[in-house]
Amino acid sequence: MNQYNIRFAILILFVCACGCSCQPSGQPTSDQPAKTNSKNIAEKVSEHVEAPGVVVGMLENDKRSYQVHGVRSMTSQKALKFDDCFCIGSLTKTFVAVVVMQLVDEGKISLDDSLAQYLPDVPRAKDVTIRQLLNHTSGYGDSYSWIYYLPKTRMLKEIKQIRTKKSLAMLGANLPMENEPGEAFFYAGTNYDLLALVIEKLSNRTLNAEMKHRIFKPLKMTWTQMAFRNSNLKCVPVTGHLAGTDFWPVSHELFPKLAPSTSIDQPMLAWAAGGLISNAPDLLAFADALFGGKLMSPESWKEMTTCLNQATGKINEDQTKSGYGFGIAKRNDGKYRCIGHGGMYSGYTVGFWHYPEKSLSIVVLCNRGLSFRVRVATDRVVKQHFSNQ
């Protein structure tokens, strides 16, 4: 893998390289106030990442609590609410993986099926398996990184030209292979866009409709929906913000200082790799079901959480170590272990992590596109939270 690809693979380990601009309106409303505690987690995260606003949701020993700090937009200065919606970026991949594993449980697909059994017109489909798409070892290039590393003028032109889900998936599938299938790990949104095409073919429903049927409706996730090229959203996200090279290399040309992310790809470009919109209450409901073993069989959960060493692309012999599974990652800093996923969209960042030894799930939603700084800040406040117990 060349230097460019190594750098980008590291950059998007937990992010979805794709842009968005959303204006604050159509928000869910609730009379329930956001619950707070003295640790003021949202404020600490906001200060660390210099973001206009942060929402933190925590599910600890079956009790939900929320922290809110800041504003929905630096221009309107309207205060955030605990149930405001955000673009959740690459956390979308976790939802897609859950649907695939449910189809595995139902005997409708096998992890070792070739992609050609479902999408024979995709390049190298006969050599790529469903498993390799799920754990990013297919070798396909990444359509999002290709778009967002173009010069500004061409980048904006390419974004406007992509109008269908299949054209987005096929853009990535037609890029030069990063490696031979199964030989290495390369994080690519293309894998999940292709999986979504398989889901739609098997279910005869759109990806959003299938996720609603299998996840959103059963878990009463009222405000979660797919936003790919959709301008009729029931829950329009708070305004995202960017500064400098928060998101992609040319973003400093468009955002020399912190500002609302303008309509670069409105309606949203990302699909199965990062196109969901959600809020803290919905994501805590998802965390409760996912980490509580309610969404798939124990066998499928074991498959989904069997992680690769991202440097070698091989299965970790010690599954307590950090690594990547099927739309989910494990992290182990030597003191605390967690499992989940992060995500970034142009102007938004999300952290979604479960600490099994502490019976704690935490969701962090930020309206600035700074994935790794949000992760570091979340780690700090979680450790402080544990140390204060």
* Cβ pair 350, 91 in contact under 8 A: yes
Cβ-based neighbours of 48, under 8 Å, separated by 6 or more: 373, 376, 377, 380
Q: Dihedral sign, CA of 8, 11, 16, 18?
A: negative
Q: Where are the alpha helices (DSSP H) in the chain?
A: 3-11, 41-49, 92-105, 130-134, 143-148, 152-161, 165-173, 189-203, 207-211, 251-254, 280-291, 298-304, 371-387
Q: Which amino acid is it at 175?
A: L
What is the structure's pLDDT at 26? 45
58 is written with which tokens? 């925590």
- Say whether pTM exceeds 0.85: yes
What is residue 335's DSSP assignment? Answer: S
CA atoms lying within 13 Å on the CB side of residue 303: 19
> What is the model's pLDDT at position 194?
98
One-letter amino acid for residue 145 of the chain: S
Q: What is the pLDDT of residue 261?
A: 77
Among all chains, which residue has been given the structure tokens 């230097």?
Answer: 3
Q: Which residues contact 83 (CB under 8 A, 6 or more apart)?
A: 27, 28, 29, 30, 223, 279, 280, 281
Give Rg (Cα) of the chain. 19
**Is residue 183 within 8 Å of 193, Cβ to Cβ?**
no
Q: Average pLDDT by consecutive 10-residue portion of the chain (389 residues)?
A: 35 33 42 47 84 94 94 93 94 98 98 98 98 98 81 72 83 94 96 97 96 98 85 83 67 69 60 94 98 98 97 93 96 87 88 93 90 71 71
DSSP readout, 241-298? EE-TTSSSTTHHHH-SSSEE--SSSSSP---TTT-EEEEHHHHHHHHHHHHTT-SS-H
Please, what are the domains in the chain? 28-387 (3.40.710.10)
Q: Which residue has the tokens 């200065």?
A: 77
DSSP state for residue 214 in the 8-state scheme: I
